[in-house]
Structure 1
Amino acid sequence: MSTTTRRAPSVVEVSVSGTPRRGVLSRLVDRLGTGTLQVILVLIALFWMMPVVGLLLVSLRSESANTGSGWWTALLEPTQLTLDNYARLLDDQTILQSFLNTVYISVPSTVLVVVIGALAAYALVWLDFPGRDWVMVGVVGLLVLPIQASLIPISQLYGAMGIFGSISGVILFHVAFGLPFAVFLLRNFFVGIPRDLLEAARMDGAGEWRIFRKVVLPVARPALASLAVFQFLWVWNDMLVALVFTSPDAAPLTVALRSQLRQFGSNVDLLASGAFLSMLVPLLVFFAFQKHFVQGVFAGSGK
């Protein structure tokens, strides 16, 4: 009885029947070329930035120039540009106080949400206590709670506590509504930290507080930066909460600009300079944390 052995096909004998299909975008890039594609992307970016450029030019033009011609004429006549609007803005005590109020509200609201959210997320991931899963279910449930549904009950609560119309009441509101998202975001990031890293720290004699400060926080820096940017932008640009819970003396910049628009609807130059000032601070914060923000947004996407 003869046996035949089947020889495994070599690499040369294996034929490739087809090639993977290429997407439309990749074929378009090949046809256009890298240089042409970069020019198109630059044009799209310039078109996207046109409202910002228009707002900046309006804020740098006088009232007569804004009413007499469009903002684009300043590109051909740079002599129209002046800093008088910003000088008038800085002399307006209402705008200056509202700008300071915005800082007093945004900075504590951001710091408290990041710190408390990081501590809560660490406990939900690495500490074993009764009802931990139910706490996480409650956090997820709070994510879908609309702000509008809580305005009246919290207004009554603040009135009973005597903090209605104060900056502290607005800070508490932003912290309460920012914590569910903060805990959810940081908890998902902390889950990806290797357990062996924390166990090695425990074997070296480190306690939970030291592990949190020396091990978890440095690793979670991109997620913390992303959370800080999200929270700061939300609080800085908020008008609904501030409009309900602040008095005129504690109103932030968004409420002050709204009142200026209602009283001086034709004062476009002053409003434009105030609006650009309100937009400039979030842009500076975003660019300052841009590197960590991008890392935090894409963290875990390759897992």
Structure 2
Amino acid sequence: MTAPTIPTTDDLGGPPDPVTGSPARGLASRVLGRFGSGTVQVVLVLVALFWLVPVLGLLFSSLRSETDNADSGWWTLLTAPAQLTLHNYSDLLANSAILQSFGNTLLITVPATVLVVVISSLAAYALAWIEFPGRDWLTIGVVALLVLPIQVALIPIAKLYGGLGVFGSITGVVLFHVAFGLPFAIFLLRNFFSGIPQDLLEAARMDGARELTVFRKVVLPIGLPAIASLAIFQFLWVWNDLLVALVFADADSAPITVALQTQLRQFGSNVDLLSTGSFLSMLVPLVVFFAFQRFFVQGVLAGSTK
């Protein structure tokens, strides 16, 4: 006599055994996987070096005399290092107009960056965590201002500055940069501040902290990467600006971009002066970027992981 058989799940029509093994990879997944290979990394390094060629050309041109720049290309410096000279930099530092323009650039960039960071931080905190009538409509208005191009405001603001007596001054240029830098700054920081856990703010309020204390003790330390990223963006934008300075700055308050543009118009073949001034103008933003690079990367990646 044989023992009765017990029906299995397959005999009863149940679900089949799960399929083991890795799922099939799609085309997009295979392409993304290729980016980790050594060949692709070598290609990316070569692309980065290719993008650095103009920077190297600018640097080499600034280290050659006017005669050498007129006779041959900057790449000949690689085979003839005797062309190296610092005479261009000494002449530039002796140029009072260029030195004044560098000072004007600092007087424009630093206040415009500090004011945008301070005002936008406070406004973003208020729009993110303080309840008041019309808050949502005010947020919508800030977002709408992001699509407003600078060009449409040049003539109206020029007339306004004429009436206020600040046209052609450093103050007028700073105010313009602050006004057009605030919408993006508030939008960026509000989105970051909204991701802060509400329990942290409520705990500080239960301990008796006022809103300004909550902002200073809780929000600012957490939002430092985003604030540093905003400061870098604003600094680079204002430092490299030419359009606003051309319209609202006179000869005494012109930044380095306008000074170099004027030199190009007057001395079109003066490559030694233009290359030297352009490289020094580019050097300051590079120093600022690498000094705050750690905070910049943290701000860009903020919110990507929990």
TM-score normalized by structure 2? Answer: 0.92
Instruction: Choose which of 252, 256, 269 in structure 2 pairs with 1:253.
Output: 256
Distance 1:187 1:114 in 2: 12
Structure with greater Cα Rg: 2
Distance 1:150 1:106 in 2: 20
The question of 1:149 aligning with 2:155 is answered no
The question of 1:15 aligning with 2:19 is answered yes
Instruction: Choose which of 20, 28, 31 in structure 2 pairs with 1:25.
Output: 31
Structure 2 unaligned residues grouped into runs of 5+:
1-5
Distance 2:296 2:73 in 1: 37
Code of the residue aligned with 1:21 in structure 2: it is G
Secondary structure of 1:173's partner? Answer: helix
Offset, 1:4: 7.2
Structure 1 unaligned residues grouped into runs of 5+:
none
The question of 1:78 aligning with 2:81 is answered yes
Distance 1:41 1:139 in 2: 38
Offset, 1:141: 1.1
Distance 1:67 1:39 in 2: 36
Instruction: Choose which of 226, 233, 236 in structure 1 pairs with 2:236.
Output: 233
Question: Do the aligned residues in 1 keep the contact of 2:34 with 2:40 (CA within 8 Å)?
Answer: no
Distance 2:269 2:228 in 1: 40
Q: 1:267 to 1:160 in 2, by over 3 A?
A: same
Offset, 1:39: 2.8
Offset, 1:45: 1.3
For 1:287, the equivalent position in structure 2 comes to: 290
Offset, 1:43: 1.6
TM-score normalized by structure 1? Answer: 0.93
Offset, 1:5: 8.2
Question: Do the aligned residues in 1 keep the contact of 2:63 with 2:85 (CA within 8 Å)?
Answer: yes
- Give the root-mean-square deviation of aligned CA atoms: 2.0
Offset, 1:81: 1.1
Distance 1:250 1:146 in 2: 24
Distance 2:274 2:223 in 1: 40
Code of the residue aligned with 1:289 in structure 2: it is F
Distance 1:193 1:50 in 2: 42
Alignment of 1:43-192 (within 5 A): 43-192=46-195
Instruction: Choose which of 33, 42, 54 in structure 2 pairs with 1:39.
Output: 42
Q: 1:51 to 1:132 in 2, by over 3 A?
A: same
Question: Do the aligned residues in 1 keep the contact of 2:35 with 2:41 (CA within 8 Å)?
Answer: no
Code of the residue aligned with 1:215 in structure 2: it is V
Q: Deviations over 1:180-225 (max 9, x none)?
A: 0010000000000000000111111111111111110000011001
For 1:277, the equivalent position in structure 2 comes to: 280
Q: 1:95 to 1:29 in 2, by over 3 A?
A: closer
Q: Deviations over 1:220-248 (max 9, x none)?
A: 01100110011011100001100000110
Offset, 1:296: 0.9
Offset, 1:29: 5.3
Code of the residue aligned with 1:14 in structure 2: it is P
Offset, 1:21: 3.1
Alignment of 1:187-202 (within 5 A): 187-202=190-205
Secondary structure of 2:168's partner? Answer: coil
